[in-house]
Amino acid sequence: MRKPLIAANWKMNKTVGEAEAFLRDFIPLITEVEDTDIVIAPPFTALSAVSSLLKGSPIQLSAQNMFYEEKGAYTGEIAPGMLTDLCCTHVLLGHSERRQYFRETDEILNKKVKAARAHGLTAIFCIGESLGEREAGETFAVLQRELEEGLKAIGPEGIVIAYEPIWAIGTGKTATTGQVQEAHRFIREKLSALYGNEASSMRILYGGSVTPENIDALMECADVDGALVGGASLKPDSFARLVRFRR
């Protein structure tokens, strides 16, 4: 039985003070939650403050990105060891915004996932198709390529997949439960081809305009093991409702 995981991606939102205020309100709302893993990914500037506030709570800390080198002349980048130094347990890699705006390729992301795993970080590896690719019938081809190239020569341990159809991220358009389950089932099959029986324990999250209104239906899908949430994770009561989904 795969334990559900609900992850918050705050993206480029929240100052240190705003992050602290969020956690002061949020942590009391979820202290009794034991059957769901909770992960929060604040911006880099708030990682240290958030890390301190999460001590003793059931919430795990994630970064939103990282570079694949240990150290060096890479102005503006963050090394994996810098994240573990702040008690990060997870890192988001391959988000569509990183692929689109910062031109991160499958090859680059493969290096990043390898570096994350070498440092004991769980990689939440994001994949997903654009609207044009879906309309052209290329959804499965895109998912297969991003999985095979991004996870090349990487074992299944410490890998969480996040399926995020690009056309549903921040648009208010949520994929239907049928579309979600179809994509998640395909991903599970491809993971099985890569890893055999070990794929059955790998978690696949859904991301794309997840809200308190649709979380219960999404979590009813057989191959949906959680959610990677953007906008709806920015308010304590909203994110608490997602963590306390019902099915």
Express each pLDDT in 69-97 by its tens digit. Answer: 999 999 999 999 999 999 999 999 999 99
Domains of the chain by residue range: 5-243
Residue 169 scores a pLDDT above 90: no
Express each pLDDT in 111-146 by its tens digit. Answer: 999 999 999 999 999 999 998 999 899 999 999 999
pTM above 0.95, yes or no: yes
- Residue 66 is given by DSSP the state -
- The residues that are catalytic are 95, 164
5-243: what fold?
TIM Barrel (3.20.20)
